[in-house]
Amino acid sequence: MSPALDRRDLLKLLAAAPVAAQFAAAPPVAAAAGHGILKPLPSDVFTIRGTNAETNVAALRDTGLHTPEDHFFVRNHTSTPVLDESEWKLTVWGSGLRGRPVEFSYGQLRSLPAVTRTAVVECAGNGRNFYATQQGQPVAGTPWTLGAIGAASWRGVRLRDVLRRAGIDPSAVHVMPRGLDDPYVSGGVDYGRVRRPLPAAKALDDVLLAYEMNGEPLPYDHGFPVRVVVPGWIGIASIKWLGDIQVSATPLSSPWTTEFYRLFGDAYPAGGSDPIGPQTVKSALELPLGARLEAGTVHRLTGRAWSAKAPVSHVEISTDGGAHWRRARLRDTPCRDGWVRWSADWRPRAAGPAEVLSRTTDRAGNTQPERSVHNTQGYLFDAVVRHPVTVT
Ligand code: MTE
C-alpha cells in the first residue's frame, strides 16, 4: 500500500461520497497537490510533468533490478482513484465470448493459479524530449527524458486463464481492458475511460492481471487493486485500475489506437501507421543531464539497458562524443522483458564540455541508431542519447 496515506482513512473519506467506492475519484488530498498522484514525489527522485511523474534516472543508481514503488514513474491520464478491493469486480463481456458476461471478484481472482514475473513498464513517449533537443524536431506530448520506465516483479494471474474461464471463443480477435479512472477529457473532447484493444493472440500469450508489485499489493498509483501488465509493449497497453474486459469477435478500436499511440509524420502513410505495440531498444545513463565531473578522477559511470525484442547482448559507451566506443560491463544476466545494469569507468582528462553516449544492442541484433525516425507525437525514441556533461 502507498506509504503516503492510510488506506482505511481514505476509504472512510470516500464512504461519505455519493458514488460507489469502486468508482471513486481521487481524494481531495491528491487534487490539492494539482497532479492527482497520491504517493510522495520528492524532487530528487521525480520530475512532475502535469498529471505524471518522471523518475530522475540518476536516482535509480542506488536501486536494484526492480524499481521500488517510491522510485517508479507514474503516467496518469487523469488522477489516481482509490478503489476498494472488497467492492471491486472485473466484468468480462462481448461478442468474443461463448456465453453471457462473467464477473470475477478480487477474492476469486486471487484464488486462481498465480504467476510472478519481472517486466518493465515503459511509456511509448519515453525519451520524447530528445526529438526536440537532439534532433531539432518538435513533437507534441509530455517531454519525458528517459525516466518514463520502471521494472518490477509482478504477481497475478494470466489473462489467458481468466479469458478461458470466461469462455473466450476461438473467433475472438480483440481483447480490450478498460480502467476505472475518470474519463479522459482533453481539448474539450471526452475520450471516455482509458482503454485500448490488444490482439487476442497477445492477450492469450504472456499478459498478466497483476495484483502485486514487488511483493506488495499494487500501490494506488500503479493500479490497485488489479492492473494489466503487457510485457514488451508500450505502457498504455498495461491498463491500471482494471474494471472490465471486452472480448470481441470483430476488430475494436479506441482513441488510444486511432488518435494516440500510432505514428504520424512524413515517414508514415497519410492516415498514420498501424497502432503501435512492441517497445524498442534503449539505454540510459544514471547521471543528471549536465552533470559536473572532475578531471583526472576515475568516475564509475552506471546505467540501464533494455530491449523489448530480445535480451540485451551488450552495451557500448563513448566518452568522446561517439568517435570511439568500448564495451561497458553488464552487472546482471540479461533476460527478456527486464533490463540490465551496466557500468564503465572513465577518467576524463581535459576540462570542458563533453558528451557521454551509451548504445544497447540486443541478441536479435537490434541496436540503437544515431537518429530516430520522427513522428509528430514523439513515440518510440530509440536513438543513442548524447548525454551532456561538464568536466571541471
Ligand atoms: N491505465 C489507466 N486506467 N489510466 C491511465 O492513465 N496510463 C497508461 C498505463 N495504464 C493509464 C493506464 C500509460 S500511458 C502508461 S505509460 C502506464 O499505465 C504507466 O504505468 P505506471 O503509472 O504504473 O508507471
Domain final position from 224, 258, 292:
258
Which distant-in-sequence residues (6+ apart) come within 8 Å of 274 by Cβ? 262
Q: For residues 94 and 174, state if they share a domain.
A: yes
Residue 287 and residue 342 in one domain: yes
Mutate to test the pocket of ligand 1, among 45, 74, 76, 259 (most ligand atoms within 8 A of CB): 76
Cell of 229: 501488465
In-domain check, residue 44: no
User: Is the domain of 101 the same as that of 236?
Assistant: yes
- Regarding whether 233 and 297 lie in a shared domain, the answer is no
On whether residue 62 sits in a domain, the answer given is no
- Nearest atom in ligand 1 to the alpha carbon of residue 74 is 22
Of 213, 240, 262, which is best to mutate to test ligand 1, by the most ligand atoms within 8 angstroms of its C-beta? 240
Give the ranges where 218-283 is alpha helix by DSSP (H).
255-258
Q: Are 93 and 197 in the same domain? A: yes
- The number of beta carbons lying within 10 Å of the beta carbon of residue 63 is 19
- Residues 285 and 182 placed together within one structural domain of the fold: no
Q: How far apart are CA 392 and CA 377, in angstroms?
A: 37
Query: Closest residue (by CA) to atom 11 of ligand 1?
Result: 76
Residue 26 falls within a domain, yes or no? yes
CA distance 22 to 179: 11
Q: What is the pLDDT of residues 149-160, one digit of tens each?
A: 999 999 999 999
- What type of residue sits at position 316? E
The residues, any chain, with a CB within 8 Å of residue 258's CB and separated by 6 or more, are: 275
Task: Return mean pLDDT, the chain.
Answer: 93
pLDDT (mean) for 91-97: 98
Residues forming beta bridges with residue 281, ordered by sequence position: 307
Give the model's pLDDT for residue 355. 96
Answer whether residue 270 is part of any domain.
no
Same domain, 285 and 254: no
Pair 307, 377 in one domain:
yes
- Residue 75: inside a domain, yes or no? no
Q: Answer yes or no: do 149 and 231 share one domain.
A: yes
Q: How many domains does the chain have?
A: 2
Whether 58 is in a domain gets the answer: no
pLDDT at 99 > cutoff 80:
yes
Task: Tell me: do 350 and 220 sit in the same domain.
Answer: no
C-alpha cell at 343: 557500468
The closest alpha carbon to 189, from 253, 255, 139, belongs to 255
Is a pLDDT exceeding 90 seen at residue 16? no
Higher pLDDT, 2 or 282: 282
pTM of the model: 0.93
Locate 113 and state its grid cell.
493459479
252: domain CATH number is: 3.90.420.10
pLDDT for the residue numbered 33: 75
- Predicted local distance difference test score (pLDDT) of residue 3: 36
| Per-residue model confidence (pLDDT) at position 302 | 98
Q: For 7, list phi and psi in degrees, rounded to 5.
A: -60, -40
* 175 and 318 housed in the same domain: no
Domain containing 361 — which CATH number? 2.60.40.650
How do residues 44-71 score in pLDDT, each as one tens digit? 999 999 999 999 999 999 999 999 999 9
In sequence order, what are the residues at sequence separation of 6 or more whose Cβ sits closer than 8 angstroms to the Cβ of residue 27? 10, 13, 14, 38, 82
Say if 23 falls within a structural domain: yes
Residue nearest to atom 17 of ligand 1 (CA): 235
Q: Is the pLDDT of residue 31 over 70?
A: no
Range of the domain at 104: 3-34+81-258
Residue labelled with grid coordinates 578522477 = 297
For residue 337, is pLDDT > 90? yes
Q: For ligand 1, what atom is nearest to the CA of residue 77? A: 6
Same domain for 151 and 25? Answer: yes
| The three grid cell numbers given for residue 75, joined into one nine-digit string | 503516467
| Strand partners for 344 | 301
Residue 8 confidence (pLDDT): 43
Which one is predicted more confidently, 2 or 120?
Answer: 120
Nearest atom, ligand 1, residue 179 CA: 3
C-alpha to C-alpha distance for 299 and 284, rounded to whole angstroms? 16
pLDDT for residue 239 is more than 60: yes
Look at residue 13 in the predicted model and tell me its pLDDT. 38
174 has a pLDDT exceeding 80? yes
The reply to whether 286 falls in a domain is yes
Are 298 and 352 spatial neighbours (Cβ–Cβ below 8 Å)?
Answer: no
φ/ψ (deg, to 5) at 131: -60, -45
Q: Give pLDDT tens digits for 255-273.
A: 999 999 999 999 999 999 9
